[in-house]
Amino acid sequence: MPHDFGKNPRAAMGGVGSGRRWRFDGRDTVDAYRQLDVRKLARGGWLEPGLSSTLTWTRGGAEVGRIEIRAEAGRIVLDYRVRGGSGDWEMMNYPVPLVSTPCHLGGARRWFLCPARGCGRRVAVLYGGRIFACRRCHGLAYPSQREDAGDRAARKADRLRERLGWPGGVLDGSDLGRPKGMHRETYARLCAEHDALRETWEWQFVERWRGMAL
């Protein structure tokens, strides 16, 4: 079993790029992290003992994360690498237990048992930091728990940037232009939505800092 999270729980297998870039509090949200959803793995047949699969995450058409998943009786084994604080890659390989509970209308539902030391909580989703662990172990909030109008605007703008293949978050002014294959009308609409959301975020930013200065 993994024993701890290390000093940087978001190393390499962590967020897709927006969490701390625009938030005013220190707590990340779940959508900033890679996710393993036991329901999706079960539907895809990935939990059948003896099956080995590769899961990848992409952004703007480029691969940004990869993990090998080997299914065994009562567990899956995760195999991937993370970059530590020194910049060196570290290989990670550990099991995540699986349990089942009966459904009211028949059948069974699968769950992960969080592999973080001292946890073992039954959860449907694990979030990837140095290890994949539950939301509470990573100290994550759902976006709706922590957002104001500016936060919501920034999160939506970052999602638009992902769709457009633009790097960075709302604070990043990088614009790589229209993605290949995207219609001009769609591109113009998404750009207009992005600019309006950024303007909302900037207004909220100014208002919040003005309030802090009073």
pLDDT digits (tens, 9 = 90+) for 85-128: 777 888 999 999 999 999 888 888 999 999 999 999 999 999 98
The pTM score is: 0.56
Nearest to 37 by CA among 99, 111, 93, 100: 111
- Helix spans in the chain (H): 19-22, 38-43, 135-138, 143-146, 149-164, 184-213
CA-CA distance, 194 to 189, in Å (whole number)?
9
- Please report which helix (H) or strand (E) contains residue 80, including its range: strand 75-83
Q: In what order do the strands lie in the sheet with 89-102?
A: 52-59, 62-72, 75-83, 89-102, 108-113, 122-123
pLDDT for res 79 = 96
CA-CA distance, 197 to 85, in Å (whole number)?
34
* Contact predicate 80/126, CB 8 Å: no
pLDDT tens across 20-47, in order?
Answer: 333 444 456 656 788 899 999 999 999 9
Phi and psi at residue 67, to the nearest 5°: -145, 140
pLDDT tens across 144-190, in order?
Answer: 555 667 777 887 888 888 888 887 677 666 677 888 889 999 999 99
The residue count for the chain: 214
Give Cβ neighbours of residue 32 (< 8 Å, ≥ 6 apart). 14, 15, 16, 17, 18, 19, 20, 140
Phi and psi at residue 73, to the nearest 5°: -65, 115
